[in-house]
Amino acid sequence: MVLLGLLVIAKSEVYIVTIEGEPVISYKGGVNGFEATAVESDEKLDVTSDLVTSYSRHLEQRHDTLLETLFDDGSYKKLYSYKHLINGFAVHVSPEQAETLRRTPGVKSVDRDWKVRKLTTHTPEFLGLPTGVWPTGGGFDRAGEEIVIGFVDSGIFPHHPSFENQNTEPYGPLPKYRGKCEVDPDTKRSFCNGKIVGAQHFAAAATAAGAFNPSVDFASPLDGDGHGSHTAAIAAGNNGIPVQVQGYEFGKASGMAPRARIAVYKALYRNFGGFVADVVAAIDQAVYDGVDILNLSVGPNSPPATTKTTFLNPFDATLLSAVKAGVFVAQASGNGGPLAKTIVSYSPWIASVAAAVDDRRYKNHLMLGNGKILAGTGLSSATSPNQKYTLVAANDVLLDSSVVKFSPSDCQRPEVLNGNMVKGNILLCGYSFNFVSGSASIKKVAETAKSLGAIGFVLAVENASPGTKFDPVPVGLPGILITDVSNSMELIDYYNVSTLRDWTGRVKSFKAIGSIGDGLEPILHKSAPMVALFSARGPNIKDYKFQDADLLKPDILAPGSLIWASWSPNGTDEANYVGENFAMISGTSMAAPHIAGIAALIKQKHPRWSPAAIKSALMTTSNTLDRAERPILAQQYSGSETMTFAPATPFDYGSGHVNPRAALDPGLVFDAGYEDYLGFLCTTPGIDSHEIGNYTHRPCNYTLGHPYNLNYPSITVSHLVGTQTVTRTVTNVNEEETYTISARMAPAIAIETSPPAMTVGPGASQKFTVTLTVRSTPGTYSFGEVLLKGSRGHKVRMPVVAMGYDR
């Protein structure tokens, strides 16, 4: 391990430590000289309070005193004090010192730090925002007004037009937000401009681990990756920004809430992702600063093995306290699909977002001299109409003098190819593993072809692993990627048959010809949305033995495939967009900020709603039918490498695809708060009550009975034996309305609701029950739904999942 100037022994690692005593958010008094600072559920911290300041200082002094008492000066380095959401600190110590901490009275938990990773537009129109949502709040130039969205990500490129403080409607001051703005160390300019209201970076754990390199990672909020700028623009980028790449315009981009403010908390970096200790510090600071919404396009590399349950670790415990402070949290659900149990966002207080393919698809084609037309993808203009050009393979135009120690067919090095043989022709290249690893790029193929005078290029995929994504890439000359292996084989066979060679294999004459179509115009499909192949799937897990949880995840589906948004010219996350101002990329990282931005619109309209109420509105109004009124499909893989489509289930999309217009007026909500989430933890089998106390400082005296009784907008019973009755409570957020309650389930399970109907007054709450009874032989899982249909037109839909059932 490389240690950057730290006076610690070589085996030192970062640990996150929690200690006795409540953090600011839940301190109810009792410490001599310090009055209570606790907030009620969904209430913001008053950061201006002297009580908060003095108690925060007291906690930090306790952290310092503990370390000074136990260890010699210079044998450790404290990286952060966590005071607001959890009580503890991050420290760089040896494993032996960590063990000393574990045995010390008053220390509640010691967790070794672990890595996180990034979970890497036309969508406002696809979601109906310009016509159905923005007008209700005064138009796009008011959509998200006064709402602050915090982004824990890779930073931001503040000079991008998506983040400008536009002169026509300049932003005024925002007293409720008190975050800091760092200054660019090179230009001495602030990262904030009114649109961006806060910008800070967190890298102490990354530095201690020897992973942080200031020359490439930037010791500032500057985005050296691209990912952070992209997610911020999806949620809150300015409206109507022209998307211009490689000389083409691909429409205009807008965030979901284009008038919302942006607060940047950089804790992810281009080469290594990030560390939980830095991410927790960023979240703690964001809540203290006063953000309304928190977007996390980040998740663990794998479930952290240091804790027994997925719901209790420093990361999820910090987010629980954030939600207690009234902050809505959207998190990417993960990119491990289509395999089951690949979700990396587990907890009920978080909105876990799956990724959808929207209705826009880019296609292109290659027409060969033998009349065959091969489908592919490529964001480029066509070759000249009614004209075909000679195809020359890179391997056949190598310079005699070149000594090639790598694959020349991937066309990354123009200097090893004979320009005289390439000029005026179409260059044929091969898609190698280098493109998957990131050491080769389509952008570089285009640059090679252009520098050699080629008319265009073809990149053929000769073999591909299931799950490989082939996103279209804009290029400055005609170009196409043939993604289907069988089509690539047809192309290669045609080329070989048409190319004349001598006895040594050297080409005597190139006779294969072809032309490239126009790939710039998107095709709009009605079979949208559909669940993206890479989107992580349920069922959710409650522990690291992958046992099923009584909680459905993901929660909701949002666009996450081929999303155009701003990019940092410094960004290296996508080799094909280095130096560009925009990028089109895919991932649940792109889906989460859609939900964060839409949540900001709901928060703007209903400022007193809790995070649970906002999530309920999003979930219960979502769609399970596509634009053709057919059940939403999920991209899958069959036994071969062929992509197939199967009817999606709640394990794929949770409650369904987000419907922003309906979410603004859901009729009823399933509300929940901090006490309810503690009840969920305390009734989940296998969770030690002492472990819960270590993170929450609260005893287990809650009466949920079973975790599936958490007042959640879905129902999941992980082990249904015989008959189980589940309780839910709805709260009316509109006028008085009478609702009829119906339910349906697969034949293996009988489902009944009680009462059959109820009238709920404005602001009133009512309970109802759902009874599930196994009536067949044992099975693995069964799906259904409960529908509450209101007399004033509201529809509240809730998915039901029964797993591991037996009579």
Rounded distance between C-alpha atoms, residue 206 and residue 154, angstroms: 13
- Crossing angle for the helix pair 50-70 and 95-103, to the nearest 10 degrees: 120
Instruction: Decide if 622 is catalytic.
Output: no
Residues 219, 222, 225: CA angle, nearest 5 degrees: 100
Residue type, 303: P
Residues 6+ apart with CB under 8 A from 260: 143, 144, 145, 147, 148, 149, 235, 236, 293, 597, 600
Instruction: Decide if 401 is catalytic.
Output: no
Q: Is 534 exposed, middle or buried (0-12, 13-18, 19+ CB in 10 A)?
A: buried
Tokens of 611: 């995070």
In the block, residue with structure tokens 């902050």: 327
Rounded distance between C-alpha atoms, residue 781 and residue 245, angstroms: 47
Cis peptide before 304 (omega within 30 of 0): no
Rounded distance between C-alpha atoms, residue 449 and residue 422, angstroms: 8
Secondary structure (DSSP) of 509-534: E---EEEE----S-EE-SS-SEE-TT
Catalytic residue among 227, 365, 594, 706: 227
Instruction: Decide if 153 is catalytic.
Output: yes
**Phi-psi category of 166—alpha, beta or left, where left has phi over 0 and alpha has psi -120 to 50?**
beta
Beta strands in 333-450 (DSSP E): 351-357, 360-361, 364-368, 373-376, 389-393, 426-431
Residues 6+ apart with CB under 8 A from 326: 42, 43, 44, 292, 610, 611
Q: Where are the alpha helices (DSSP H) in 187-335?
A: 204-208, 214-217, 227-236, 276-289, 314-324
Q: Where are the alpha helices (DSSP H) in 139-219?
A: 204-208, 214-217
Q: Quote the distance between the C-alpha of residue 447 and its chain's center.
A: 32
Rounded distance between C-alpha atoms, residue 441 and residue 410, angstroms: 9
In the block, residue with structure tokens 């370390």: 67
Catalytic residue among 589, 616, 622, 718: 589
Catalytic residue among 42, 111, 113, 153: 153
Compute, in degrees rounded to 10, the torsion defined by CA atoms 167, 169, 172, 177.
-110
β pairing state of 757-760 and 479-482: unpaired
The two most distant CA atoms of the chain are separated, in Å, by 94
Compute, in degrees rounded to 10, the torsion defined by CA atoms 11, 14, 19, 22.
180
Which residues does the annotation mark as catalytic?
Answer: 153, 227, 589
